[in-house]
Structure 1
Amino acid sequence: MPSNQQAELDKFDAMAARWWDADGDMRPLHDINPLRTGYIERRANGLKDKRVLDVGCGAGLLSEAMAARGARVTGIDLAMQTIGAAKRHAEQSGLAIDYRVVSSRDLAAEAAGSFDIVVGFEMLEHVDRPAHVVEDCARLVAPGGDAFFSTINRTPLAAALAIGGAEYVLRLLPRGTHEYAKLIKPSELSAYCRHAGLEVADITGLRYNPLTRGATLGHRPDVNYFVHARRAVDAS
């Protein structure tokens, strides 16, 4: 594993104990979690009884929200302390979620086509080879299934708001959480999807107001954005 990728894992492991503090390091994720869960549920025509994989699940904010809506959730991450926090919180919440410390590449080799929905939210900008992760997600989703991604656009506005504003001015996130060079343009993510055999069905921007702690979808993807893609029914 490249050393910079290990640094990313260490960064999130260091936040594991505070992950579920709604006013802590993960405050923005807590604030947007209902919106992103609703987006998945709406675009995938429901979550109940769906087999869902949460790639880069962290300590399980999204995994638990989807499980609470009836999904059968598997969450994977390579940050061991973070997965430990996810398991403990799920047990306290009475939710049966299969959390595993495994890479998307290794899971794709053993469970290709096993999931109705595969989600990679707020994680592509933290990996060394995002195109490879998209390929893994495409392999893991069943033919006719849905894949969802969210990340941050590589624009001066995103640098000002998502990095400068969030990390250095308002201190909503620890400094160094994001690196500008690892941000991903919608055109790049769309190309990753097409190369992996996924058809992009929707791209929409997210706006987050840190003062009101409110978020809305349906905007230009200038900063944060969501992508919904589908795997063809006849995909082999």
Structure 2
Amino acid sequence: MLIRAIGSRWQNFRKVATASSVDNEEIQHFEKFICEWWNEFGPMKPLHSMNKLRIPFIRDGLINAGALNHDDINNPKILKNVSILDVGCGGGILSEPLARLGSNVTGIDASTNLVHLAQVHAKRNSLEINYLATSIEEHSSKNVEKYDAVVASEVLEHVVEKEKFLEACAKCLKPMGSIFITSISKTLLANFAVIFLAENTFQQLPKGTHQFEKFIEPSELQKMLEDQNCRTKLVHGIVYNVFTNNWHWCRDTSVNFAIQAVKLKSK
């Protein structure tokens, strides 16, 4: 039933056409895997397994930023009343567990078909998530300082106009709100590990998913965030085991990394 519903939308494929950082070639690439998006052992399995790392990253980051009470860490609805914008949400792999923790989630993606997939899947799981087919630039024009947290996980390495993208993300964020980003560092080691090994050799990721020129160094990202009045609170390195499909924190940020920054109050 779900695949048939997606298939019918596929025939009406369209892209969000706005002056934005959206890369239409990236949309076409990810829509190839639309029918396997929720297969935890399929091409999206690294994103599914990454939730074990990035959900606590967001939760603990909000606690450390003073947005949540540390005493409620074991509360199954610890994110209750927290508004979160999931940018580049795809089919909802990250949006759904955030919603299960009680947060008010809005997921946006430039792919109409992936947003429809997310809507259908959330409905089947009785989750109320506000999914929208739009770009971050278009969304930010109507939602200034609306969210307690903005999440862009495994998205920035698919964006060419990163400054424009981050400016729009920061625009949506409330003062003292947090932005959470996971991405890939622009190093030769990352090129070898992600593209040569994970994509081309072990095929843990679909070939063509990443382009080295779109990767970004953590220090460069921090500078871009500072330009948007967002001060870095922490930087973590992340390592992915292609054999076990597990992610772990590490000190080395030369391949995968995570950043949390807090938007300062305007003077």
Question: Per the shorter chain, which TM-score range?
Answer: over 0.9
Distance (whole Å) between structure 2 residues aligned to residue 205 and residue 19 of structure 1: 26
After the TM superposition, list the runs of 4 or more consecutive aligned residues in structure 1 that deviate by more than 2 angstroms. 1-4
Distance (whole Å) between structure 2 residues aligned to residue 4 and residue 55 of structure 1: 12
Relative to 1, partners in 2 of residues 1:188 and 1:89: Cα closer, same or farther, differing over 3 Å? same
Match of 1:26 in 2: 44
| CA displacement at 1:4 relative to structure 2 | 8.8
Gaps of 5+ in 2: 1-18, 69-78
Per-residue CA deviations over 1:95-118 (Å, capped at 9, x if unaligned) read 100000111111111111000000
Match of 1:63 in 2: 95
What SS does structure 1 have at the residue aligned with 2:186? coil
Q: Aligned pair 1:91/2:123, yes or no?
A: yes
Match of 1:108 in 2: 140
Q: Aligned pair 1:235/2:253, yes or no?
A: no
Match of 1:42 in 2: 60
When the two structures are superposed, what TM-score results if normalisation uses the length of structure 2? 0.85
Match of 1:216 in 2: 248
What SS does structure 1 have at the residue aligned with 2:142? helix
Counterpart of 1:32 in structure 2: which amino acid?
M
What SS does structure 2 have at the residue aligned with 1:61? coil
| CA displacement at 1:235 relative to structure 2 | 2.4
Per-residue CA deviations over 1:121-148 (Å, capped at 9, x if unaligned) read 1001111211111111111010111111
What SS does structure 1 have at the residue aligned with 2:127? coil
8 Å CA contact 1:13–1:82 kept in 2: the answer is yes
Q: How does 1:1-236 map to 2 (within 5 A)?
A: 5-45=23-63, 46=68, 47-232=79-264, 234-235=265-266
Distance (whole Å) between structure 2 residues aligned to residue 127 and residue 15 of structure 1: 19
What SS does structure 1 have at the residue aligned with 2:141? helix
Distance (whole Å) between structure 2 residues aligned to residue 3 and residue 193 of structure 1: 16
Match of 2:75 in 1: none
Counterpart of 2:128 in structure 1: which amino acid?
A
Counterpart of 1:68 in structure 2: which amino acid?
R
Distance (whole Å) between structure 2 residues aligned to residue 3 and residue 27 of structure 1: 26
The percentage of counterpart residues that share the same residue type is: 34
Distance (whole Å) between structure 2 residues aligned to residue 2 and residue 230 of structure 1: 24
8 Å CA contact 2:22–2:110 kept in 1: the answer is no
8 Å CA contact 1:13–1:80 kept in 2: the answer is no
Gaps of 5+ in 1: none
Counterpart of 1:14 in structure 2: which amino acid?
K
When the two structures are superposed, what TM-score results if normalisation uses the length of structure 1? 0.96
8 Å CA contact 2:147–2:173 kept in 1: the answer is yes
8 Å CA contact 1:207–1:219 kept in 2: the answer is no
Distance (whole Å) between structure 1 residues aligned to residue 125 and residue 198 of structure 2: 30
Counterpart of 1:34 in structure 2: which amino acid?
K
Relative to 1, partners in 2 of residues 1:81 and 1:147: Cα closer, same or farther, differing over 3 Å? same
What SS does structure 2 have at the residue aligned with 1:110? coil
Match of 2:9 in 1: none
Tell me how large the CA RMSD over aligned residues is: 1.6
The structure with more radius of gyration: 2
8 Å CA contact 1:49–1:70 kept in 2: the answer is yes
Relative to 1, partners in 2 of residues 1:140 and 1:4: Cα closer, same or farther, differing over 3 Å? closer
